[in-house]
Chain A
Amino acid sequence: MTTPGAPAAPAAGGPVNPPETVLRVRRVSKSFGPVRALVGVDFDVRAGEVVALAGENGSGKSTLANVVAGALTPDEGTLEIRGTLRRFARPRDALLAGVALVRQEPAAVRHLSLAENVLLPRLHRMVSLVDRRRLAEQARPWLERVGVPDHPLTPLARLSTGRRELVEVARALATSPSVLLLDEVTTRLPDPEDLFAVVESELANGLGVVLVTHRLREIRRLAHRAVVLRDGRLVAELVRDELTDERISSAMVGRELGAYFAKRDVTPGRVVLSVRDAVTDRSRHRLDLDVRAGEIVGVAGLVGSGRSELLETVAGARRRHGGTVLVDGDPLPSGSTRAAAAAGVALVPEDRLAQALIPPHSVTSNLVLRHHRLTRRADARRERRHAVDSVARYGIRTSAVDSPVAALSGGNAQKVVLARALDAEPALLLLDEPTRGVDVGARAEIYDLVGRLVDRGGAVLMASSDLLELLGLCDRIVVLHDGAVAGVLGRDEATEEAVTLLATGGSLAPAATPNGGARP
């Protein structure tokens, strides 16, 4: 092992000597049932190089990463690591061949120490009793290398999420890999710059890095080349000079970005939702907020700022610890989803598989979930007609209404959830991350459905971590910071910078109103 070296050669010229190809993927295909996740993909990674593997959700990039890491066996095609043909039956084979994967969902053991977590892939070789002090000594250089200052015998659970991710990287590096796969690792990092610095310093040692991501900023920052996947096919290979947002995103999407957001001009009507002095599970402050008919109000904020808590409190899914929530002037009781639904509030929750759908049940069952009353007859025929009608009306693509909803793509599953919410013709629609894990086509359809509700006089309160979506759709954006309203931005004031500033605790020029009162 070598000491942390200087950062890799500046990316513009790429590595100088003809570098060794550490990973060669040829004609790799993989199907899951009828779904072709990968179709004849070729790509190479050379030593000292970062190759971004880019694509929308469902494009096949994670499948490809899992094939390279031995977690999935390809149906066809070959892998070469440092010129040697390899077949991986399990992840361990890949690890021994020099491929290390850092996943989005960490595979760490929370109650074990940092040292044990870093050396986990090697622990099985230690037949002798585990000497914790020796483990600590062995793990220390790896932890230092990724910049984790904590003592190696600290339990992992004590570390922040960001540091835990770095421990994951240390574990991957401790296997001395030729190829390092980073699968969407930055989603949970508050400051990905630490990780980027570590990656760059490792490049000089001849490591090849595959960065799986859909974030353009990361690609621009770190990658020497980008390989773009769409529908399981490799559609573009871009070198450094071509790595502009426009080039990458149009390759990912297959058409130019642009017409996805329709800015609507609706004159706001009566006040539909009025939140006064509300205290949610997350908030340390009292929240005030108004949403008028015909308005889309956005809720922005970092993870943990209380966005979902606000929406779920209004929907009655969480108890309110004070204050009032009025819908069309009538007060809602705290913590009753039934009362909220009766008042015309519909929630599209953040996690559709865990909170909104019953994955093994049919599309029909999921569509009629809100229809049932304890003592009322359930008419299977009527339910079916309703489902057939909804599938057509909302453009839900499914092979049959009896198929399990789990078989649908993210976008179509989300349309099922939205169809259920819109069925009741809600006075107030609450959307929590409405397009997470949804492909671009379905995204446009979802925006359209929401837009049409607003045209009919519905009110929408929408939380999202996708700033472009909020800026494009919303009449006003309420920015939360640490459970409090940090500011409210009208359409003309709302910019990416202003929202980010408020969300991270900065304050803004007098333009922003301190509370959430509606514009006159």
Chain B
Amino acid sequence: MTDTDTRVARPPVDRTRGAPSPLARLGRALNQYAGVLVVLVATVIVLSVANDSFLTPGNVVNILETNAVLLVVAVGLTFVLLVGGIDLSLGGTMALSAVGLWALVTNGVPPPVAAVIVVVGAFALGAAVNGLLIGWVGLSFLVVTIGTASLYRGLALVSTEGGSESLFTVEWLNQLGSGRLLGVPILVLISLAVLVVGILVLRYTGYGRMVYAVGGNPEAARLAGMPVVTVRVSVYAISGGLAGLAAVMLVARLTSADPNTAGAGIELTAGAAVLLGGTSFVGGRGTLVGTLLGVMFLGVLSNGLTLLGVSSFWGGVVSGIVLVAAIVVDRIRTGRATP
């Protein structure tokens, strides 16, 4: 064709050239997290004015420590939400993992080995049950994970006959739960390590890109030759494995395994944190930095209310309002439906 040369010569619009400046990237990042960042900063300012002890290093570490378990679970749940699914069995997985840890340790397995077995076991269970039923067989993630939630917690309750089992005498767990490294609680270090690894995986690996692509449009991902089933199965394995790790951390912190309360309702709290952080409910959009901000907001809120002497039940009310408001504001801002 004759117009070939002119077409090739047509320069692209300038903005497509080169990488965006750091300032532009910062601006985009701020815009991306605007909702949760604004309320988080506002909450921090209000609380630090209202209470002198709020912005002390000790209290900040305290907030991180209190929410380390939640952060680990929320990281796993972010992977699942990014592919457009949900995992409501995280609390049940934690209960079963906690009881599993207790059983292994009381039967003479060295605690570090027991912890690894629990995490690997929870990972395998997530892949084999939720992962295969949802990702491979193609069943509804809601139905499957509601079912496994009840199944796992039920199994945990059966094995202890409903009782709470103490592990107070296990020194390694005590160390893990209350020990510090350079003044920072080990649990906080673990949760931040999980977060950083998660960020690296999502941003810098082909697998991470596939998670976004499968969540954004599974059909396009499939036709582009991506292993859609593998990706779908893997996110339930990751969320299961991290729930197992969260259970080990929880047991270490409480030095007991209680199948009734371990992880009870945590999937919904973690879900609220992930959604507050801007991750889309239908997949394909969201970041772990957002998830961290979401967890921090929930943590700061409940810590602040406690410091102010307000009933912590108000925390649920406020975070519920903020979550719905965040979605409304995002809708107004972007002028379209936020799925």
Contact = CB atoms under 8 A, between A and B. Distances in A.
Nearest to B234: A374
A466 interface: no
A134 interface: no
A365 B226 CA distance: 14
A369 B15 contact: no
A391 B12 CA distance: 7
A399 to B, nearest CB: 6
Contacts of B227: 338, 374
Contacts of A448: 1, 3-4, 7
A363 B222 CA distance: 18
A337 B229 CA distance: 13
A444 interface: yes
Contact of B219 (A354, A368, A420, A452): A354
Interface string B185-203: 0000000000000000001
A83 to B, nearest CB: 36
A407 to B, nearest CB: 12
B179 interface: no
B48 interface: no
A255 interface: no
Nearest to A340: B225
Contact of A378 (B8, B16, B209): B209
Interface in A346-380: 347, 349, 354-361, 365, 368-380
Interface string B269-296: 0000000000000001100000000000
A439 B107 CA distance: 72
Contacts of B221: 358, 369
A393 B207 CA distance: 28
Contacts of A392: 8, 11-12, 16
B220 interface: yes
B28 to A, nearest CB: 8
B33 interface: no
A401 B12 CA distance: 10
- Tier of interface size on chain B: 35 or more
B121 interface: no
Contact of B222 (A337, A375, A377, A397): A337
Contact of B225 (A370, A395, A445): A370
- Greatest chain A CB density within 10 A among B17, B208, B217 is at B217
B15 A399 contact: yes
A262 B285 CA distance: 42
B182 interface: no
- Greatest chain A CB density within 10 A among B8, B18, B225 is at B225
B54 interface: no
A317 interface: yes
- Greatest chain A CB density within 10 A among B3, B8, B212, B220 is at B220
Nearest to B231: A374
B216 A400 contact: no
A338 B225 CA distance: 5
Contacts of A368: 209
A138 interface: no
Contact of B16 (A359, A361, A398, A445): A398
Interface in B130-167: none
A105 interface: no
Contacts of A387: 16
A19 to B, nearest CB: 42
Contacts of B317: none
Given A391-B12, A392-B12, A375 B205 contact: yes
A384 interface: yes
A400 B16 contact: yes
A332 B109 CA distance: 50
B321 interface: no
A373 B222 contact: no
Contacts of B207: 372, 374-375
Nearest to A372: B206
B88 to A, nearest CB: 25
B19 A384 contact: yes
Contacts of B115: none
17 contacts: A338-B225, A347-B223, A358-B213, A358-B284, A361-B212, A374-B227, A374-B230, A377-B204, A378-B209, A388-B16, A392-B12, A398-B13, A401-B16, A402-B20, A447-B1, A448-B7, A452-B4
